[in-house]
Amino acid sequence: MIFAVMLAACGRKEPAAYEQTAFIMNVPAQVKVYGADGAAGKAVADAVLGEWRRISDEFSFSEPYSQTTLVNKKAYGDWVKVEPEMFYLLQLSMDYYKLTGGAFDITFAPLWPIWKDAASTRKMPAREDIQKALTNMGAGYVQLDPARRMVRFTKPVQINMGGIMRGYCFVRAARLLKELAPAYPVELRLGGNMLAYGARSWDYTIEDPFHDDRVFGKFSFPGGVVMSSSGRDKFVQIEGKLYSHILDLKTGYPIEDFSNLVVYFPDLGNENFIPSAVLAVMGQEKAFALLSKMKGTAAVWLDGAGKDTVFTAPESKASWAKTRRLF
């Protein structure tokens, strides 16, 4: 259900904000427009949330009439022509597959029910089941023909591009805001991700992965995008041990020694970003090395024990402050 309210700021003096919320891609979505009247705020919120719903419907793995479903039904053994946007997303997914050496793979469908059942029963899946699932996966079985804008599977795999969809939502939202050019600061949230537009001091708070009532720290920045790959609410407990929901698709198991990765990008205008889920499966060292080549970025990696490692690229305008505790 969507609702809109005018919120008065609490504490420090700041303009009232028009807010509209929804539930998209199985996570909360929120648009705040600071200082706008109801009509102006609604115009921005309707445009952004409408675009996000379109993306969700057209590229969903589970939506029966989505472009993804069409490809999954028809592409095994036959070339299927797809829309330009779908082909772009497929190419992007294949680029991430190559970049991560196969750790990010959109053909992960056989693994998902295995780990979903493990989370429900709290029992580790059988190694044989994992290995069997891996034999029915592999983005290497996905062939793309750019000249004809066509896709084909050489094995009966299934694609699911959920790992890049929220990042793509922000790419589209950034374009929309550039076109609409609202005269007000705008804050967008989709799950644990945030886009901040306009002149304002922005903060992104990171919760302690092991204590629900504690703040671990925060990023402060003048504008841009923050993407989070996990968090305590995404952990699953199996046989007394906490596991991330992010899988290393080379091994079929959750990535190890990991709690969260939060990444700041100063701009998405040139699509100069990589989803945090892709960076997470690369491991801290490789992820930070890649971010060092991207101007103005910053990141904090929380390992399995909750220890933070911070990266800040030269000229980054983001600052990290860890919460201090006396005990």
pLDDT at site 13:
57
Polymer length in residues for the chain: 327
The rounded distance, in Å, linking the Cα atoms of 204 and 211 is: 18
- Given a contact cutoff of 8 angstroms between Cβ atoms, the answer to whether 288 and 300 are in contact is no
pLDDT at site 16:
84
Token pair belonging to 247: 């899988």
The rounded distance, in Å, linking the Cα atoms of 291 and 295 is: 8
- Given a contact cutoff of 8 angstroms between Cβ atoms, the answer to whether 150 and 82 are in contact is yes
Amino acid at 219: F
- Given a contact cutoff of 8 angstroms between Cβ atoms, the answer to whether 170 and 188 are in contact is yes
H-helix or E-strand spanning residue 132: helix 127-135
Query: Which residues does 26 contact at the CB level (< 8 Å), separation at least 6?
Result: none
* Percent of the chain as helix, strand, coil, to the nearest 5: 30, 30, 40
- pTM reported for the whole predicted model: 0.90
Token pair belonging to 132: 């069997």
Token pair belonging to 211: 């204590």
pLDDT at site 4:
44
Token pair belonging to 203: 């903060």
pLDDT at site 324:
76
Amino acid at 56: S
pLDDT at site 6:
44
- Given a contact cutoff of 8 angstroms between Cβ atoms, the answer to whether 76 and 153 are in contact is yes
Please list the pLDDT of the chain residue by residue as tens digits (327 residues). 444 444 444 445 566 899 999 999 999 999 999 999 999 999 999 999 999 999 999 999 999 999 999 999 999 999 999 999 999 999 999 999 999 999 899 999 899 889 889 988 999 999 999 999 999 999 999 999 999 999 999 999 999 999 999 999 999 999 999 999 889 999 999 999 999 999 899 999 998 887 778 899 999 999 999 999 865 456 678 887 878 888 888 899 988 888 899 999 998 765 568 999 899 999 999 999 999 999 999 999 999 888 999 999 988 999 999 987 644
Strands, DSSP E only, in 251-290? 253-254, 260-265
> Could you tell me the domains of the chain?
1-60+181-191 (no CATH), 67-160 (1.10.3980.10), 201-327 (3.10.520.10)
Backbone angles phi, psi at 150, to 5 degrees: -130, 160
pLDDT at site 3:
44
The rounded distance, in Å, linking the Cα atoms of 12 and 60 is: 41
